[in-house]
Amino acid sequence: GQSLEQPSEVTAVEGAIVQINCTYQTSGFYGLSWYQQHDGGAPTFLSYNGLDGLEETGRFSSFLSRSDSYGYLLLQELQMKDSASYFCAVRVGDYKLSFGAGTTVTVRA
Amino acid sequence: SAVISQKPSRDICQRGTSLTIQCQVDSQVTMMFWYRQQPGQSLTLIATANQGSEATYESGFVIDKFPISRPNLTFSTLTVSNMSPEDSSIYLCSAGQGANEQYFGPGTRLTVT
- Put the strands of the sheet holding B68-72 in their side by side order: B4-7, B19-25, B75-80, B68-72
Residue B107 — left, alpha, or beta (φ > 0 → left; ψ -120 to 50 → alpha)?
A: left
Mean pLDDT in chain A?
94
Choice among A36-50, A56-70, A89-103, B36-50 with the minimum mean pLDDT: A89-103
Q: How far is A103 from chain B (nearest CA, A)?
A: 10
Amino acid at A14: E
Q: How far is B20 from chain A (nearest CA, A)?
A: 19
Q: Which residues pair with B7 in a beta bridge?
A: B22
A95 touches chain B (CB under 8 A): yes
**Own/partner long-range contacts of A57-61 (Cβ < 8 Å, ≥24 apart):** A60/A34
pLDDT tens-digit series, residues A45-66: 999 999 999 999 899 999 999 9
* Per-residue pLDDT at B51 exceeds 90: no
Put simply, the answer to whether B42 touches A101 (Cβ < 8 Å) is yes
Give the model's pLDDT for residue B99: 57
pLDDT tens-digit series, residues A71-93: 999 999 999 999 999 999 998 87
Q: Which residues of B are less than 8 Å from A99 in CB distance?
A: 42-44
* Burial of residue B7, with CB atoms counted within 10 A of its CB: 0-12 exposed, 13-18 middle, 19 or more buried: middle
Query: Choosing among B90, B102, B104, which should be mutated to test the A contact, i.e. which has the most A CBs within 10 A?
Result: B102
pLDDT > 90 in chain B, percent: 83
* Per-residue pLDDT at A94 exceeds 80: no
Give the model's pLDDT for residue B98: 64
